[in-house]
């Protein structure tokens, strides 16, 4: 069901932003824990780039759901769930997106609880979750462009 066409330029702009932020996060991930923690700018940059990645992920998800399914929720966890339910991303990956939505809420509302060590650990172990979104959206957009050239 397509309500109106996707704004492919808007989607690509946000996907490019995610790619740029992910590249900066990957550079930060190469720093040793000791060096990462020694410079207070590293955790601050990590938090900013990570939050911005997650925001862009959900802006993309909201746009796709809105244009394709007249979806109107602003709740990030609901966006994550519906992306899987509607087949825009795999159901398994939508579970990861639900966790990302919860982490976004921590970054925005419980920022005082976020530790520098936690951010370092995310750099080491979880950036693939953001990369997976780029891959899932590439697959979705390929199918979309075939259906709506």
Annotation: CATH topology of 8-147 = 1.20.120
- Note the pLDDT tens digit of each residue in 77-90: 999 999 999 999 99
The model's pLDDT over 112-141, given as tens digits with 9 standing for 90+, comes to 999 999 999 999 999 999 999 999 999 999
Q: What is the DSSP letter of 39?
A: S
Residue 31 burial (C-beta neighbours within 10 Å; 0-12, 13-18, 19+) = middle
pLDDT value, residue 130: 97
Q: What is the pLDDT of residue 32?
A: 98
- pTM of the full structure: 0.93
Q: What is the pLDDT of residue 2?
A: 54
Taking the domains of the chain in order of start, what are their residue ranges? 8-147
Q: What is the pLDDT of residues 12-63, one digit of tens each?
A: 999 999 999 999 999 999 999 999 999 999 999 999 999 999 999 999 999 9
């Amino acid at each position: 069901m397509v309500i109106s066409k996707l704004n492919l330029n808007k989607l690509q702009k946000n996907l490019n932003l995610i790619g740029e932020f992910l590249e900066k996060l990957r550079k930060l991930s190469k720093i040793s824990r000791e060096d990462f923690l020694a410079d207070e700018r590293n955790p601050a940059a990590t938090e900013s780039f990570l939050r911005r990645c997650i925001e862009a992920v959900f802006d993309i998800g909201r746009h796709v759901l809105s244009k394709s399914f007249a979806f109107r929720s602003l709740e990030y966890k609901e966006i994550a769930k519906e992306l899987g339910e509607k087949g825009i991303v795999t159901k398994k990956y939508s579970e990861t997106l639900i966790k990302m939505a919860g982490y976004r809420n921590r970054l925005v509302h419980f920022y005082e609880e976020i530790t520098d060590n936690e951010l370092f650990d995310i750099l080491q172990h979880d950036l693939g979750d953001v990369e997976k979104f780029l891959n899932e959206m590439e697959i979705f957009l390929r199918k979309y462009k075939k259906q709506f050239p």
